[in-house]
Structure 1
Amino acid sequence: MHSSTPAERGGTHTRSSKFAAVVRVTSGNFLEQFDFFLFGFYATYISRIFFPAGSEFASLMLTFAVFGAGFLMRPLGAIVLGAYIDEVGRRKGLIVTLSIMASGTILIACVPAYQTIGLLAPVLVLIGRLLQGFSAGAELGGVSVYLAELATPGRRGFYTSWQSASQQVAIIVAAALGYLLNRWLTPQEIGAWGWRLPFFVGCAIVPVIFLLRRSLQETAEFEARARPVGARANWRAMLQNWRTVFAGMLLVAMTTTTFYLITVYTPTFGKSVLKLSTADSLIVTVCVGLSNFFWLPVGGALSDRVGRRPILVAIAVLAICTSYPALHWLCAAPSFGRMLAVLLWLSFFFGMYNGAMVAALAEIMPVEVRVAGFSLAFSLATALFGGFTPAVSTWLIEATHDKAAPGYWLSFAALCGLSATLALYRSSGRARASASAA
């Protein structure tokens, strides 16, 4: 009988410990996206309860504006918390971001309705979103950098892809909960109180995520640094590298716009615009989450083999050329089958592009400000593009009377991503060198 050698046992232990570290560090991403998706999916109920206005369109726009306001806090969180994580370490910083995020989640779940406490209700919802946005500004960057520094040589794209993959699990769970509520409760019950139940589920898993985060180990790469920079030096370094941060923001524009279009906005688009059933929209969202979960590691692993640039360029060009035609085909004859086909096509864009993009963004950032620079670029893109995608899409449809108009917004974001990719990989030797060294 063959017995394993010490080297084999050591390799198995290393793989299992790295898998455990991936689960621990991405757990916070699960909570973040779980709550963000719930806010988008239940936007129609939230608009009536917290933002009553003269019309459904006005209430929905107010709700999506508050949803987007949380993203405006992300750049501030990236600067403040990102610098903190670069100074004190990945483990301590990610525990702080989780604490702030959990506070916002609990607040939104427990706020009484407008009819009960008046204007204080929307104000408290806004505060909860601002807290979530401030935390998320550095959460995603901190997790991505942790995974990049944890990765084995030549597999950085594959490792960092699990940052986004964990978010897809959250979308699947949230959509499944919504589907079950839709089966068990009447629309009136969901509108009155049922929509809060998934938010309470998010509150209930906070202690579990805290336990997972507390057991994280600091990355060897951070511990090997001679002397982490302080916050002021971190901010000065980001100013010196503002061109890289700006290009990184444009690089992220494609992925964050696609993501919020096919996940957060999909349920509202399906119900309010295409007039499909709630069940159809939720089933499509679950399928999109599963598709994203599949394509993300594929995109990351493929970029490890062929390079980041070919993946980013190819997917951006496809998105520019096909986003509007695909949505126009869907809107011409709305059906469950067409919606599923179009959203899975856009999901392919997101998974492949994002799988390569996260590793690329980590590689182009100077090591001393890696978390802050990554977080600021991602947060600016999310604030200016992704976070306002539901609001922009709603406005475009209203202004143009074209139900496929969100395709213009996605094509524009893809053009930004393509421009940034060509600029970065033409002018930045660091990006190519880092990618080859990974």
Structure 2
Amino acid sequence: MEDARLRNTLNMDGGTATAGAGEGGLRKAKSIAAITLGNGLEFFDFTTYSFFAPIIGKLFFPTGDHLTQLLLAAGSFGVGFITRPLGGLVLGAYADRAGRKAAMNLTLTLMALGSALIAFAPTYASAGLAAPMWILGARLLQGFALGGEVGSATTLLMEFGGDRKRGLYGSFQILSQGINTVCGALLAVTLSTLLSQNALESWGWRVPFVIGVAAGLVAIYIRRNLRETLPEAVSSEAIELSKPITEVFRNHSKGLTIGILTTIGGTAANYIVVYYIASYAVQVLNFPMSLSLWAPVASAAIMVVCAPIAGILSDRVGRKPVLAISRLLLIAVIYPAFILIHAVPTLFVLVSVCTVLAILSTFTIVPGLVLQPELFPRNVRVTGMSIVYCTGASIFGGFAQFFATLLIQLSGNVFSPAWYLIGCGLLSLTPLPFMRETAGRPID
């Protein structure tokens, strides 16, 4: 009975979503643009923090050692991932009961609030220990919000894609993150170039977070007319958030295990290659901040270009082969890449290395991300994906910068980030033999 209602509510025909009597291609394109833009703006708020980690470490975690300051700043970045699983559980279940649209608008509101708290946070010099606690609280709120955003947005994109284009549509999640990173890094480059160090530390670093608040409000407005893909028969039921959570853990433990292990390699690659490399160049290679930020600009730009290609390839060839080949290649080149940027510490070499690593990272991230919602049925899809993504991203992605910096400090080996990524990559390959290929196959 529910299947019949579902087909009447949402008919997937050759990868084109139609609702009721039909939905025009223009309206569908607007919906996808609204999802992608809102998702990108939310990631802008969350990840811009990493570009200003050296300054935030100095202002909120003052110590006599630059590496320790970076370690504490990286730790505060990672704190934002602690609440991601909780946000994934609560907001994911909310999306499976109340609808994808309602959940995504709620996450945008919470993210904007977190950005406002950071934008107006008092520094250690003026507030003492209250300052780092303020920052940690804001990061926890942002992490909770983003925990619900990724699952809802990716699921909605994928459900628009139908059986033949889920990889392509799911890749828009990574494309939006890439666009956000390019914008955030370019803004950081502009501020660090135009402002003096005193001005940057005084007020310049706050500018991106003020912009993030305004962008969040704009995204909520843009998303106001999004069409819901959750069948009305389900979304109109009483909102009992415990039902999807209970069902996922009771009936889909295999999907959870496979999804979490697969996620580890992609999320570690993303946060090391795209976000950590700028701070690493400043603290280890002694690059000026204005130059080091060109590395994430290049990486994110490559991600924007390659994400749709990786999605299309995963639709045609399959998720598993694309994921396995790209991940093995990344494991093979990451250590030589770190050796090269140390042997020839120039901007050209740094950007060139990051470009190659970003290509491999994108082709390993996209099929892994698309696989996550495909592991679960529609009624618990956002909940299941949110748990999978947030658990893997929280431990191995969000704290990647912290672990990498800590390994350098403990071992004295500046190549430790490469070893960290190799370990995560190998671990993430273990579930592949036990996974079924989902490309081109119905999942509902």
TM-score (norm 1): 0.91
Structure-1 residue corresponding to 2:231: 222
* Paired residues of 1:249 and 1:378 also in contact (CA < 8 A): yes
- For residue 8 of structure 2, what is the aligned residue in structure 1? none
Indicate conservation of the 8 Å contact 1:157/1:301, yes or no.
yes
Shift of 1:218: 0.5
Structure-2 residue corresponding to 1:428: none
Q: 2:405 aligned to 394, 398, 404, which one?
A: 394
CA distance in 1, matches of 2:247, 2:159: 20
Counterparts of 2:27 and 2:364, CA distance in 1 = 28
Q: 1:229-282, CA deviations, whole angstroms, 9 ceiling, x for partnerless residues?
A: 832221221212223112201111111111111222121111111112323222
Runs of 4+ in 1 over 3 A off after TM superposition: 221-230
Once the two structures are superposed, what CA deviation does each residue of 1:399-432 show, in whole Å capped at 9, x if it has no partner?
222222211111112112211222223xxxxx54
1:423-434 matches, cutoff 5 A: 423-425=434-436, 431-432=437-438
Structure 1 residue 226, shift from structure 2 partner: 8.9
2:365 corresponds to which residue?
Answer: 354
Match of 2:338 in 1: 327
* Structure 1 residue 260 corresponds to structure 2 residue 271: yes
In structure 2, what is the equivalent of residue 5 of structure 1?
A: none
1:80-122 deviation per Cα after TM superposition (whole angstroms, max 9, x unaligned): 1111110001111111111111111111111111111222111
Which residue type is aligned with residue 169 of structure 1? I
Asked if residue 84 in structure 1 is aligned to residue 94 in structure 2, the reply is: yes
Distance 1:236 1:435, change over 3 A: farther
Q: Write the distance in 1 (CA, Å) between the matches of 2:293 and 2:242.
A: 46
Partner of 2:109: 99
Shift of 1:227: 7.6
Superposition pairs of residues 191-270 of structure 1, within 5 angstroms: 191-219=201-229, 222-223=231-232, 230-240=240-250, 241-270=252-281
DSSP-derived class of the 2:24 partner = helix
Structure 2 SS opposite 1:264: helix
Q: Show the counterpart of 1:436.
A: 441
Matches within 5 A, 1:57-206: 57-206=67-216
Give matches, 1:269-348, under 5 Å: 269-348=280-359
Q: Distance in 1 between matches of 2:268 and 2:84?
A: 15
Alignment of 1:410 onto 2:415: no
Q: Which moved more, 1:172-181 or 1:326-335?
A: 326-335
Deviation at 1:130, TM superposition (A): 0.4
Structure 2, unaligned runs of 5 or more: 1-17
Give yes or no for contact 1:244–1:365 (8 Å, CA) kept in 2.
yes
Q: Once the 2 structures are TM-superposed, how far is the Cα of residue 63 of structure 1 from its aligned partner?
A: 1.6
Matched letter for residue 401 of structure 1:
G
Separation in 2, partners of 1:118, 1:435: 56
CA distance in structure 2 between the partners assigned to 1:56 and 1:368 by the alignment: 49
CA drift of 1:307 comes to 0.9
Matched, 1:47 2:57: yes
Give the aligned residue type for 1:293: V
Greater shift in the superposed pair: 117-126 or 29-38: 29-38
Counterpart of 2:402 in 1: which secondary structure? helix
- Please give the per-residue CA displacement for 1:279-311, whole angstroms capped at 9, x wherever unaligned: 322222211111000111110011111111110
Distance 2:412 2:260 in 1: 30
Alignment partners' CA distance in 2, 1:280 and 1:155: 39
Q: 1:290 to 1:226 in 2, by over 3 A?
A: closer
> RMSD of aligned C-alpha atoms?
2.0
- Stretches of structure 1 lacking an aligned partner (at least 5 in a row): 1-9, 426-430
Stretch moving more, 46-55 or 247-256: 46-55
Structure-1 residue corresponding to 2:12: none
Q: Which amino acid aligns with 2:271?
A: Y
The superposition leaves residues 37-84 of structure 1 with CA deviations (integer Å, 9 ceiling, x where unpaired) of 321111111111111224222222222112111101011111111111
| Cα 1:249–1:15 shift into 2, 3 Å | same
**Whole-angstrom distance in 1 between the partners of 2:434 and 2:360:** 21
Q: TM-score, normalised by structure 2?
A: 0.90
**How many residues in Structure 1 have an aligned counterpart in Structure 2?**
421
User: Amino acid of the residue matched to residue 334 of structure 1?
Assistant: P
8 Å Cα contact 2:270-2:365 kept in structure 1: no
